Amino acid sequence: MSKVQAVPTNIITGALGVGKTTLILSLLTQKPANEKWAVLVNEFGEVGIDGALMNAPDQQVFIREVPGGCMCCTSGLPMQIALNQLLATAKPDRLLIEPTGLGHPKEVLQTLSESHYQEVLKLQSTLTLIDARKLRSQRWREHPTFREQLEIADAIVVTKSEHYEPQENHNLIAHLKEVGVSDKPRVYTHTEPLALSLLNDLERQSEQLKLNAQEYEHHQNHSHDHSHHHKLEDHYYQPSPIELGEGSQDVYKVANHGQGFFSYGWICSGQRKFELDKLKTLFGAIDTERLKAVMQTEQGTYGFNLADGSLEVTQHTYDKDSRIEFLSDDEQQAIKIADQIEIELGLRV
């Protein structure tokens, strides 16, 4: 009997709101047509939204979520259960793992490197995303988890750089030097999609990646000017196992907290329709660290992604239910925001 080939596996990590899900969606659009890919997503919150927001480019993509915080907690057991189920169901040609922005990537790597996975998974490039604008905050610069994410990177992917002020890139270079990772290759995503070759071992491409970063830095120093859609039931997506009823029972609420952050989330029956314009106004005005939602409206399904005070609204085909979750570093503010959302959208349970 022939030996089963180990699955090429990449960890895609980075702090909250840096664009990990967006990057994965970009990579999925480049997936070879003859390959099956699997995506294991971890969210800090409990309701699971990223899976619903991921519109995979074809039916050869399988998505599984691990809601509720860090993948590595309880000796990696939640991650291992989800991972084992995903591998058995999808039998993928490549696996992408997106830990929560608050997760401990070193422990995720340790779990994936254990003996029982060594013949199952082939660990390849770990990509760490960073948005240099976050470095304006001392809390972000000194956050141990965010620094650890950079330390374990094989390559550093700089996101949203088209929005940087000239000083932003200087701050990034200084921060990478302080963390001790300034020699790691860097790529910038502002001009073209990330090449699939970056997912493989980096030895043969390190010099080219460094040239990429140097060229961008030269540009920043000398000038500065300010698909496809399928229903998610076509893919292996499992929402949180919650049975919703009707009337007062059609809303499920859950909360989570850890590492100085607090989250609230709701799942609503798909029979309930929300007003799109009202959602745009409400979510766009909320002052919080992060908000994601996928909502059934009178105009169809829409996804909402709030980061750095900017709300992105996109149309989707997920139609099972509505899901909202936000994250705040202020407990009292989180309570107020939760009250506001419940009152304006009629979500009192």
Among residues 189, 222, 255, the one where a domain terminates is 222
Is 233 within the bounds of a domain? no
As a whole-number percent, the residues of the chain with pLDDT over 70 amount to: 75
192, 144: one domain: yes
**What is the domain count for the chain?**
2
Query: Whole-angstrom Cα distance, residue 259 to residue 62?
Result: 30
Same domain, 171 and 48: yes
> Domain check: are 308 and 206 in the same one?
no
The structure tokens listed for 340 are: 């506001």
Same domain, 215 and 256: no
Domain shared by 251 and 194, yes or no: no
Please indicate, yes or no, whether residues 211 and 256 belong to a single structural domain of this protein: no
Tokens of 92: 């993928």
pLDDT tens digits, one per residue of 198-251: 898 665 444 444 444 455 454 444 443 333 232 323 233 333 334 444 444 688
What per-residue confidence (pLDDT) applies to 26?
86
Enclosing domain of residue 164: 7-222
CA distance 328 to 202: 36
Supply the DSSP string of 2-32, one letter for each residue. Answer: PPPPPEEEEEEEESTTSSHHHHHHHHHHTS-
Between residues 317 and 128, the one the model is more confident about: 128
Lowest mean pLDDT of 107-116, 136-145, 154-163, 207-216, name the range. Answer: 207-216
User: Any idea what the CATH number is for the domain that residue 53 is in?
Assistant: 3.40.50.300
**162 and 261 inside one domain:** no
**Cβ count within 10 A of residue 29:** 13
Same structural domain for residues 154 and 25?
Answer: yes
- CB within 8 Å of 6: residues ≥ 6 apart: 118, 119, 120, 121, 122
DSSP state of 346: T
| pLDDT tens digits, one per residue of 72-120 | 454 457 778 888 989 999 999 999 998 877 667 777 888 888 888 888 9
pLDDT tens track for 24-77: 888 988 899 899 999 998 766 566 676 666 655 456 888 887 766 554 454 457
- Residue 242 confidence (pLDDT): 41
Q: Determine the 3-state secondary structure of 279 from DSSP.
A: helix
Q: Are residues 49 and 130 in the same domain?
A: yes
Q: Residue 2 falls within a domain, yes or no?
A: no
Do 260 and 133 fall within a single domain?
Answer: no
CA gap 178, 308 in Å, rounded: 24
Average pLDDT of the chain to the nearest whole number? 79
Q: What digits encode the pLDDT tens for the residues 242-301?
A: 444 444 468 888 887 776 778 898 999 888 999 999 999 999 999 988 898 999 999 999
Same domain, 262 and 171: no
Q: Is the same domain home to 195 and 88?
A: yes
282, part of any domain: yes
Q: What is the CATH number of the domain that holds 300?
A: 3.30.1360
Domain boundary among 222, 253, 283: 222
Helical axes 105-112 vs 144-151, angle rounded to 10°: 50
Burial of 249 (0-12, 13-18, 19+ CB in 10 A): exposed
Q: Where are the strands (E) in 58-185, listed by range?
A: 61-66, 94-98, 121-123, 127-130, 155-158
Q: Which pLDDT value is given to residue 76?
A: 58
238, part of any domain: no
